[in-house]
Amino acid sequence: MKNKERIPTMKDVAAEAGVALGTVSKVFNGFPVGESYRIRVEQAAKKLGYRVNNYARGMRTNRTNTISIIMPMICHPFFSKLTECIIRELDSHNYNTFVSVTDRNPKAEARCIRMVAQNKTDGIIALTYDPDFNNIGNIPFVSIDRSFTGSCPCITSDNYTGGQIAAAKLHELGCRKLLYARTGSPVPGETDKRGYGFENWCQTNSVSYDIINAKVDNDQMIEKIREMVENGTFDYDGIFCSTDLLLILIRNELNRLGIRIPEDVQMIGFDGSIDFYTGLPVCSSIEQPIEQLAKVAVNTILNYDSENTPSLICLPVRYIPGPTTKDWI
């Protein structure tokens, strides 16, 4: 509550630090200055209780040094790691990060966009399932896992190759009849390509396969699997699942029905989830390069150029063995 009547200015900071006004300006605007100058300016600013008036600056330069990220949820191994990596990467560029959680709720997403626009964020990195999400005006926008037909860059794992790798690995491990099990949003997304890559490999290599595609509903998927086992039509020895979570749910159901994993059926998921408590893979999986996804998304939004940005950037994935295939020791 000291200095309530007299708000310190940049000039006061310069005088206190014994440096030129331009040096103070550089420090507060993130330009390079000698480390000793930076420390003197920061100490002077702290002593005087000086704060950069970012609102005034926002009006002048129309840059806020903030990016918004939109996630369907955070309380989830893949999304929490992706969120953390994006925040850390933005932080390393001296950017602040707004985070919104929308949980596959288009209304909440629309509200986020409105709030984002009102706060004049410099851009949005979004993982969203809203079919109308496209319509966000002129804000720089980077999508993760969902392509908006060329209207903005999409950063994603190489899902197609991941599907191919999974099919090839199951076959290599001795599986002869494969199943692809997929749940998720009915909105078309890049993750659909996991199935297409899988299908392509099976067709090219004349391997027998089926596909079960349950829109969103995991319970529905479990129900189908159970029916097949109970009426004797479940004759697969290899299953590729669209996510690690789905794999665990199906594995638990198969175990309950007396089918052993990986002895009777081998399974590969997608995500590369590591158990938080043990540090071990949750299951055999196609690993998403989460840190690279974050780095490329941040790099793309900070150097946004709507004319010269690729519409789709796919990052390489790899197979990691886990306890649901026979190559796990």
List residues binding a copy of itself (CB under 8 A): 1, 28, 42, 49, 51-56, 58-59, 64, 66, 68, 73-77, 80-81, 83-84, 87-88, 91, 94, 96-101, 108, 111, 114-120, 137-138, 244-245, 248-249, 252, 273, 276-278, 282
Q: Compute the distance between CA of residue 143 and CA of residue 317 in angstroms, rounded to an integer.
A: 18
Residue with tokens 């949005």: 124
What pairs with residue 144 in β-bridges? 155
Residues whose CB is less than 8 angstroms from the CB of residue 62 and which lie 6 or more positions away in sequence, other chains included: 120
User: In angstroms, what is the minimal distance from the CB of 120 to a copy of itself?
Assistant: 6
- Which SS3 state, helix, strand or coil, does residue 69 take? strand
Q: Following CA atoms 93, 316, 105, 134 in sequence, which dihedral angle do they give, to the nearest 10 degrees? A: 80
User: In angstroms, what is the minimal distance from the CB of 54 to a copy of itself?
Assistant: 5
Smaller CB distance to a copy of itself: residue 108 or 173? 108
Neighbouring CB atoms inside 10 A of 256's CB total 11
CA 92 and chain centroid, separation? 18
User: In angstroms, what is the minimal distance from the CB of 207 to a copy of itself?
Assistant: 28
User: In angstroms, what is the minimal distance from the CB of 252 to a copy of itself?
Assistant: 7
Smaller CB distance to a copy of itself: residue 277 or 329? 277
Task: Decide: residue 13, CB within 10 A, 0-12 exposed, 13-18 middle, 19+ buried.
Answer: buried
Task: Decide: residue 329, CB within 10 A, 0-12 exposed, 13-18 middle, 19+ buried.
Answer: exposed
Asked whether the beta carbons of 249 and 225 are under 8 A apart, the reply is: no
User: In angstroms, what is the minimal distance from the CB of 306 to a copy of itself?
Assistant: 9
Is the peptide bond prior to 262 cis by the omega test (within 30 degrees of 0)? yes
Smaller CB distance to a copy of itself: residue 14 or 67? 67
User: In angstroms, what is the minimal distance from the CB of 59 to a copy of itself?
Assistant: 5
Smaller CB distance to a copy of itself: residue 128 or 164? 128
Q: Which two tokens stand for residue 154?
A: 């999409």
Smaller CB distance to a copy of itself: residue 50 or 201? 50
User: In angstroms, what is the minimal distance from the CB of 64 to a copy of itself?
Assistant: 8
Asked whether the beta carbons of 147 and 192 are under 8 A apart, the reply is: no
Smaller CB distance to a copy of itself: residue 202 or 297? 297
DSSP code of 238?
E
Smaller CB distance to a copy of itself: residue 55 or 174? 55
Q: Compute the distance between CA of residue 37 and CA of residue 242 in angstroms, rounded to an integer.
A: 53
Smaller CB distance to a copy of itself: residue 142 or 274? 274
Q: What is the DSSP string of 164-180?
A: HHHHHHHHHTT--EEEE
CA 90 and chain centroid, separation? 14
User: In angstroms, what is the minimal distance from the CB of 232 to a copy of itself?
Assistant: 28
